[in-house]
Amino acid sequence: ARLFLDTADVSAYDELLPLGMFSGVTTNPAILKKDNVKCTVDSLHQLAGQAFKHTDEFMCQSWGKDASELYDTGMKLAGLDKEKIVVKVPATVEGIKAAKRLLEEGVRVCLTACYSAKQALIATGLGVEYVAPYLGRMNDNRKDGFDQCYKMHEIVGGIGGKTRVLVASLRDVVNMQVLAQKGLDTFTFSPRVARQLLEEPLTEKAAEEFEEAVKG
Ligand code: E4P
């Protein structure tokens, strides 16, 4: 699986990224706001620097009122490190145009804020690296988020390009497990969900018993 930590909280980077199970970090302007990080190119570059202490992939979202602004911001964001930074662009009409131009410049792109399986066709048409459906928010909007994710996975797999489905707006470990059982393998989730994933008292207890046994 490819797991990403969905946060701008640097203390969570230091706590969770050294576990080694995360491929990288993801953020967006709403997450920056929640974690009191300014949505500027400079502060994102600083944040990326913190993440790169432990990992090699940092996804941050572009912003702007139209394709031209989304492209310009995206180019600046990617400027720090074109190998390790993935620029997220919302799958709006303007976002799609910006994504196309960013790809032409060799920028790694994630098409985000997806609410329908059909948007996987846009992502594969463009040839972006990631397409991000919002599981929780689809469910909030009375859509069957699981079904949309399964369909996206089928579309992307059937087409066979390089696009991966990155499930976002994941609020519960069980939801992720259910999707993983059906073959989805790329997820981003908060530190809270990460701690849920790690929590298994019986494993901790078994490990303590092994330590006791070592002592004889
Ligand atoms: C997107 O990358 C995030 O996962 C999303 O903004 C968080 O989702 P939520 O606020 O709907 O839980």
Q: What is the mean pLDDT of residues 69-77?
A: 98
Q: What is the pLDDT of residues 145-191, one digit of tens each?
A: 999 999 999 999 999 999 999 999 999 999 999 999 999 999 999 99
- Rounded-to-integer distance, Cα 117 and Cα 125, Å: 14
What pLDDT, on the 0 to 100 scale, is given for residue 35?
98
Q: Atom 11 (ligand 1): residue with closest C-alpha?
A: 169
- Rounded-to-integer distance, Cα 191 and Cα 129, Å: 24
Return the CATH number at 99.
Answer: 3.20.20.70
This prediction has a pTM of: 0.96
pLDDT at 216 over 90: no
Q: What is the mean pLDDT of residues 94-111?
A: 98
Which residues have C-beta atoms less than 6 Å from ligand 1? Answer: 6, 26, 28, 30, 132, 134, 136-137, 168-169, 171, 188
Domain that holds residue 37: 2-215
What atom of ligand 1 comes closest to residue 26's alpha carbon? 2
Mutating to test ligand 1, I would choose from 169, 187, 190 the residue with most ligand atoms within 8 A of its C-beta, which is 169
Q: Atom 7 (ligand 1): residue with closest C-alpha?
A: 169
- Rounded-to-integer distance, Cα 56 and Cα 6, Å: 15
Q: What is the mean pLDDT of residues 41-47?
A: 97
Is residue 74 a contact partner of residue 111, using CB atoms and an 8 Å limit? Answer: no
Q: What is the mean pLDDT of residues 130-143?
A: 98
| Annotated catalytic residue 33 | no
What atom of ligand 1 comes closest to residue 31's alpha carbon? 6
Residues 118, 122, 123, 124, Cα dihedral to 10°: 90
Q: Is the ipTM of this complex over 0.85?
A: yes
What atom of ligand 1 comes closest to residue 113's alpha carbon? 1
How far CA 33 is from CA of 39, 47, 141, in Å, comes to 7, 13, 23
Q: Atom 9 (ligand 1): residue with closest C-alpha?
A: 169
Is residue 26 a contact partner of residue 43, using CB atoms and an 8 Å limit? Answer: no
Rounded mean pLDDT of the chain? 97
pLDDT band, very low/low/confident/very high, at 95 (cuts 50, 70, 90): very high
Q: What is the mean pLDDT of residues 112-133?
A: 98
Mutating to test ligand 1, I would choose from 6, 143, 170, 172 the residue with most ligand atoms within 8 A of its C-beta, which is 6
What pLDDT, on the 0 to 100 scale, is given for residue 135?
98
Looking at the 3D structure of the chain, how many domains does it have? 1
List the structure tokens of 36: 């009191």
Q: What is the mean pLDDT of residues 27-47?
A: 98
DSSP string, the chain: -EEEEE---HHHHHHHGGGS-EEEEE--HHHHHHTT---SHHHHHHHHHHHTTT-S-EEEE---SSHHHHHHHHHHHHHT-TTTEEEEEESSHHHHHHHHHHHHTT-EEEEEEE-STTHHHHHHHHT-SEEEEBHHHHHHTTS-HHHHHHHHHHHHHHHTSS-EE-EEEE--HHHHHHHHHTT--EEEE-HHHHHHHH--HHHHHHHHHHHHHHH-
Q: What is the mean pLDDT of residues 34-62?
A: 97
pLDDT at 1 over 90: yes
Distance 31 CA to ligand 1 centre (A): 8
Q: Atom 5 (ligand 1): residue with closest C-alpha?
A: 169
